[in-house]
Structure 1
Amino acid sequence: MKLYYSPGACSLAAHIVARECGIPIALEKVDLATKRTQSGVDFFSINPKGNVPTLELDDGTILTEGPAILQFLADSAPEAELAPAHESMARYRLQEWLAFINSDVHKSYSPLFNPATPAEVRAERQAALGKYYAWLEEILTPQAWLLGNHFSAADAYLFTVTNWAPHVGVDLSHLPALTAFQQRVASRPHVRAALVAEGLVGG
C-alpha cells in the first residue's frame, strides 16, 4: 500500500495507525500548494479532490477521506486493537469520536491556516476550539485515551490535529490532561517513528 501524505497534515494520523498496526506502507509526499507528488505526478490524477490522506491499495484501489482510511487500516490488523469489534457499542463510540474530530475540531483549524481569513472568523474558530478542548479536558482527566484505557485510531487523529494548536495561536497550556495526552501519544515508539519519517522531529 502507498500513503500519499503531507508532513504534519491530517495524513499523519493514517501514518501513525499504519505503523501501530504493523502495516508496511510506502510513503509519497504531496506538495499541497502545487498538487504534485514527490515523484512529479499530478496529484489530481490520483485523487480528484486533491486532499491527503489518500491511500492506494495493492490492487490499485484508491481510498480517500481520513476517517475511512483510519478505520480501513485498523480493520486490516484487528490484532492491534485500534478499532473495536464491529457492531459493538465501542465501535460506534470510535465512529462518534472520528466524526467529531473530523467535522468539529479539524474543520475549525482549517480557516486558521488561511492568512486571508477575517479576524472575526479567526476569533470565532479559536473560541470554538477552546470549548471543544475544555470538554476534551474533562474526558481525558479520568482516562488515558478517548475510548478509555486502550489507544485507538481516534487518539491518533486527535493527536495529529491538536499538534496544530501552537502554529495558529490556540493556547492549550491551561489543560494538563490534554497536554499529558499529547505527550503520551508522542512517546509511543510507532508514533515517534512516524514523526521522524515525516521530518517533524529529529531521529
Structure 2
Amino acid sequence: MMQADWYFDFVSPFSYLHWQKIRPLVDAGRVRALPIVFGAVLATLQQRGPAEIPKKREFIYRQALWQARREGVPMVFPPAHPFNPLPALRLCVAAGTTVAAIDALFDAVWRDGRALDTAEALADVASSLGIDDAAAAIADPAVKERLRANTDAALAAGVFGVPTLAVGGELFWGNESHDLMLAVLDDPGLLEHGPLAGVGLIPVGIERRR
C-alpha cells in the first residue's frame, strides 16, 4: 500500500474540518497523521500566512464557517486567531499522535472555541489523554524533536500549506481537495495518465520579479 501522510496544524480551521473526513482513513491505518508547525513552514518559504493578510483573513474565516455549516460540523473560533499552536502540537506528540489525542485537541479549539496556547489551558485535555503533567510533557526535548522532525519532513516533501495529504510524492492541499485525495488513494494511476499526469510539464510563461 502506498504511504500517505496527512500534515496538519491545530491553528488551521481547515485542518479541523478536513480531520472529520480523513479521520476514518487514519483510524484504519491507510493514512498517517503528522502534526507540524505551519508557522515554521511559512518562515522557511518566506511567505505570509493567510491570516496575516487582512482581507484574506476575513475571507478565510467566512469560508471556514461556511464550509463547517455546509458540512454539518460545529465550529466556534477560539478567542484570538492566529494563536500559538506549539503547546497543543507538542501535547499531541506527547500523547502519541493518536486519533483520540487529535480529536480532543481539535474539538477543544474549534468545537469549543478554547485557547490552548499554554500548559495551564491544556491541563484538562492532557488529563483526559492520561498525561498528568502537561507542562512537563510539552517541555520534553524528545517531543520537541519529534515535532521538528515532522515539520522538516513536510518541508522536504514540498508542503506549503495545511492540511496537506502527501501520496507517493504528490501533494493534495486543503479541505475541499478531499474527493481528489480519495480518488488518488483508490487509484494512484490516476496521476500517471491523461491530463492530470502532465501538469508539471506546463511551461512558466512569466515570472514575477521579487
TM > 0.5 between the two?
A: no
Structure 1 length as normaliser, TM-score? 0.28
Larger RCO (CA within 8 A; separation ≥ 6): 2
Q: Which has the larger radius of gyration?
A: 2
TM-score (norm 2): 0.27
